[in-house]
Amino acid sequence: MTRILITNDDGIDADGLAPLARRFHRAGFDPVIAAPAAQSSGSSASIMATQSDGRIRVERRELAGAAGVPAHAVHAGPGLIALIAARGAFGEPPNVVISGINHGANVG
């Protein structure tokens, strides 16, 4: 089964993440959501993180409309999230990375 990392730079609470994850889940893929804990537009390539006891802070979340899809609010930039996901930070490493639907214009 194809593992898909769904992420964004708009943060874990962005409206586009749950519908995107739900669609891939229903299509038979194995999605996992890992997105910045806070809005991070304009810092997509950032590899900065907030640490606690030497570890990147990660909070498990349940997103309304994405039942059965693991979701993680990560206190890090989107670039670092994709990097640690590729190393297995959120379970099986993804085969594909999908960036969530933007809530506004991409003007960067």
Amino acid occupying residue 62:
E
Which residue bears the tokens 């586009």? 16
pLDDT computed for residue 30 by the predictor: 97
- The sign of the CA dihedral 26, 27, 30, 35 is negative
pLDDT computed for residue 50 by the predictor: 73
**Cα pseudo-dihedral 48, 106, 36, 103, rounded to 10:** 160
Show me where the domains of the chain are located. Answer: 26-80
The pTM of this model reads 0.88
Reference 65, options 36, 29, 26; nearest CA is: 26
Which residue bears the tokens 């907030």? 50
What tens digit of pLDDT does each residue of 10-50 get? 899 998 999 999 999 999 999 999 999 988 777 666 667 77
Q: Which residues of 50-86 are buried (b: 16+ CB within 10 A; e: fewer)?
A: eeeeeeeebeebebeebeebbbbbbbbbbbbbbebbe
